């Protein structure tokens, strides 16, 4: 019996889902507020959102990194030259 436990992958119901960040060039269609986190790279902004429990979307532009919580949010996709990035936390 013990040997069989090692043959099957862990599939317990209480296991937390694996989270990922999906990034695009874009910006939220509603204004963002608050004091931005000062990161020099979009990837640092994504990481901050990934490890912040109530963050659903990160937005990075020339003024900094904004972490947005869960709720209805629309995003306008932009081209690479915009230097604006959004990343969504998904499972």
Instruction: Judge: domain 17-90, CATH 2.60.40.
Output: no
Q: Specify whether the CB–CB gap between 21 and 88 falls below 8 A.
A: yes
Query: How does pLDDT run across 37-90, given as a tens digit for each residue?
Result: 999 999 999 999 999 988 999 999 999 999 998 777 789 999 999 999 999 998
pTM of the model: 0.77
- pLDDT band of residue 1 (cuts 50, 70, 90) is very low
Distance CA 68, CA 58 (A): 6
pLDDT at 11: 54
pLDDT greater at residue 87 or residue 35: 87
- The 3 state secondary structure assigned to 56-91 is CEEEEECCEEEEECCCCCCEEECCHHHCCEEEEEEC
pLDDT at 27: 93
């Amino acid at each position: 019996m013990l040997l069989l436990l090692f043959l099957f992958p862990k599939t317990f119901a209480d296991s937390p889902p694996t989270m990922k960040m999906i990034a695009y060039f874009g910006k939220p269609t509603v204004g963002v507020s608050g004091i931005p986190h000062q990161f020099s790279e979009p990837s640092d902004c994504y990481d901050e959102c990934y490890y912040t429990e109530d963050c659903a979307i990160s937005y990075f532009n020339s003024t900094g990194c904004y972490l947005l919580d869960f709720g209805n949010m629309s995003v306008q996709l932009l081209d690479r030259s915009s230097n604006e990035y959004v990343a969504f936390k998904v499972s």
